[in-house]
Structure 1
Amino acid sequence: MQLLAVFGKPVLHSKSPQIFNTLFSKSNIDAFYTRFRVESGHEVVDAIRNFGIAGANITTPFKEAVLMCLNSVSNEVMTIGSINTIVFKDGKTIGYNTDYYGVTKAIEDSGVKIKGKSAIVLGAGGAGKAAAYGLAKEGASVTIVNRTLLKAEKAAKKLGCNFAPMEQLAMLLKTTDVLVSTILPDANPLLGITLPSNLAVLDANYRTSSIAAQATEQGCKIIPGERWLLRQAELAYFHFFGDWPNIETMEQALLNAKPANPDLLHCVELENKSIITSQKSELVIPIDDKTEMELVDILDEERSKAFGN
């Protein structure tokens, strides 16, 4: 049985396992997809190698941290500077980015044509850079707005788009067609700003965010963050298996997705890795050299983020 996983910190909230495991079941693929909680980019790659993980998705905060830990990366990764998909084959790790595809396909799915549109991307981290790359690639005029202006400037110069400080956000939004937010769900630099009624808003968070709530209240067109998740997973699946998945099956899996089972969270030693597939682990924490107290703290954090206090 092939093992695949999503890596993050936190990661128990991820709905990727529900999508991929449904695809495996419907397609009779002998594989299992779970979640791995690690503490660094190096730990991501170590776990992939040690546990024999054939394919991995990477989420916050490791999309940039894993970049220098891989054997090779694709062309779009060289430009974007972040990775969200890793294939482990013949002893080599290969990094890809499917976020840019997820963003543009999600927007197009909503009926918005990207070419010729004016777009703002909030955030200049891995997801923000991928969003800016995808939008620019499809013909939009893109401005990256970030709290740290120097970071926005550096990303914009590499991606061939514009950048601006947060202080200019209200002015820029007056002539903006598409807003993509990649910032934390509780952060909202739009407070006090009246959004254009024709604005289309895509928030990377598929949990409730302050920006999405405000945009909904002000009558903007809302593009669900789950659509981004679904579409990036579609291209990731292609990288894993060399074939395109059934998008309708993925949509149904996401619609019916249930929260992770809190009784199937496992701290695993390498020699006992078979427990992952035999017990269908919802979350795996490699023990490595972590103390018992450290493992307890990690489990508590994951439960809190996924299920609340």
Structure 2
Amino acid sequence: MKLFGVAGDPILHSRSPDLFNGGFSAISFDGRYLLLASSSAKEAIAVAKEIGFSGLNITSPFKEEAFRLVDEVEDVAKEVEAVNTVVFSEGRARGLNTDVEGVRGALLENGVPLSGKRIAVLGAGGSARAACYALSSYGRVSILNRTLDRAVSIAEKFGGDAYGPGGWELLREMDIIVLCLPIEPPIPASVLRPGQTILNANYSKAWTFEDRARIQGVKLIDGREWLFFQALRPFELFTSSEAPKGALREALCRPRRISGLICLCGFMGSGKTTVGKVLAERLNMPFVDIDERIERKTGRTVEEIFERDGEHTFRRLEEEEIRRMKDMEKAVVAVGG
């Protein structure tokens, strides 16, 4: 079985596992896509390599850091200076950026013409950089960010105009507004008007301005559209198969339920077992400690296995135990440190 995942902070809201696992099932692909909680892109990529992931998607706020960490980068990612997909092969990590496809697909496939339109991008992270790159070929893009210097840097890179926190009134003139922000901005009702389109990259929850925007005739495009279109190329790279678009959409729109395996990774003594037991109890899921399973099977402690047979033997036993769990419907799992 091949392993894949998505890393970011926060990450529990991500619908990527639903999308990819639904697609894997549709084409009978022997793979599993997981959430990878981590505090940095460096940690996420290191853990993914250690576990043996074949591919990893990167979400906010790790995309720019991931760009600096991979061994090789495709041309689009070089221009954007951000990576949202990492493919592992022969010990090397190749970085790609498919957010560009996500932005264009979300707008064009929802009937939004781009040529000649006045466009604003809010934010200055990796997603915002991808949006500016994707849309700059259609016209001059205005970048709004609370830190003006970062907006200026992106504007200079992609040939746009930069505005700081006081640029809200500018939005009234915009035909298309792309939100690339972790929290809801204080968009004044006065800048919303009929005929505008707003694409929000953040789909974790509904924002308060959305109902008001609909009433005022604004077209809203859900961030899951961006997620869907940016996932098509990674899916095909991960599986070497054509993406089953219908199955992917169905999986993405299906109501969420807590199922599958929640794996806790970390150094020895970092609290995986303690946290795992609490999490399992709250989610009403069984808890599995891989170390305990290995000790019961071998009749020796983890320390004894390390001392007598070395770490490579323990890691082999650990991998065997993890693979035996692939058919469990749900569980919280603490893996070895």
The question of a shared fold, defined as TM-score above 0.5 by the shorter chain, is answered with: yes
Indicate conservation of the 8 Å contact 1:54/1:88, yes or no: yes
Per-residue CA deviation, residues 58-85 of structure 1 (Å, 9 max, x unaligned), is: 1122111222211011111111111110
Q: Could you tell me which residue of structure 1 aligns to residue 190 of structure 2?
A: 193
Query: How does 1:122-271 map onto structure 2 within 5 Å?
Result: 122-137=122-137, 139-170=138-169, 172-185=170-183, 187-206=184-203, 207-261=205-259, 264-268=261-265, 271=315
Cα deviation for residue 146 of structure 1 reads 0.4
Query: How does 1:60-79 map onto structure 2 within 5 Å?
Result: 60-79=60-79
Indicate conservation of the 8 Å contact 1:260/1:282, yes or no: no
1:212 partner amino acid: E
Distance 1:95 1:284, change over 3 A: farther
Query: How does 1:83-122 map onto structure 2 within 5 Å?
Result: 83-122=83-122
| DSSP-derived class of the 1:184 partner | coil
Indicate conservation of the 8 Å contact 1:268/1:285, yes or no: yes
Measure, in 2, the Cα distance between the counterparts of 1:282 and 1:18. Answer: 17
Distance 1:169 1:223, change over 3 A: same
Distance 1:147 1:259, change over 3 A: farther
1:231 partner amino acid: F
Distance 1:280 1:121, change over 3 A: farther
Measure, in 2, the Cα distance between the counterparts of 1:283 and 1:74. Answer: 36
Measure, in 2, the Cα distance between the counterparts of 1:162 and 1:240. Answer: 37
| DSSP-derived class of the 2:162 partner | strand
Cα deviation for residue 260 of structure 1 reads 3.1
1:193 partner amino acid: S
Q: Which runs of 5+ in 2 are unaligned?
A: 267-313
Per-residue CA deviation, residues 184-236 of structure 1 (Å, 9 max, x unaligned), is: 23x32313433121100111111212343442242201111111111111122
Larger RCO (alpha carbons 8 Å, 6+ apart): 1
Aligned-residue CA RMSD (Å): 2.3
After TM superposition, the score normalised by the length of structure 2 is 0.78
Measure, in 2, the Cα distance between the counterparts of 1:130 and 1:282. Answer: 36
Indicate conservation of the 8 Å contact 1:77/1:97, yes or no: yes
| DSSP-derived class of the 2:190 partner | coil
Cα deviation for residue 286 of structure 1 reads 7.1
2:171 partner amino acid: L
Per-residue CA deviation, residues 131-167 of structure 1 (Å, 9 max, x unaligned), is: 1111113x13211110000000011111222222231
2:244 partner amino acid: N
Measure, in 2, the Cα distance between the counterparts of 1:211 and 1:141. Answer: 26
Q: Report % sequence identity.
A: 32
After TM superposition, the score normalised by the length of structure 1 is 0.85
Measure, in 2, the Cα distance between the counterparts of 1:68 and 1:220. Answer: 38
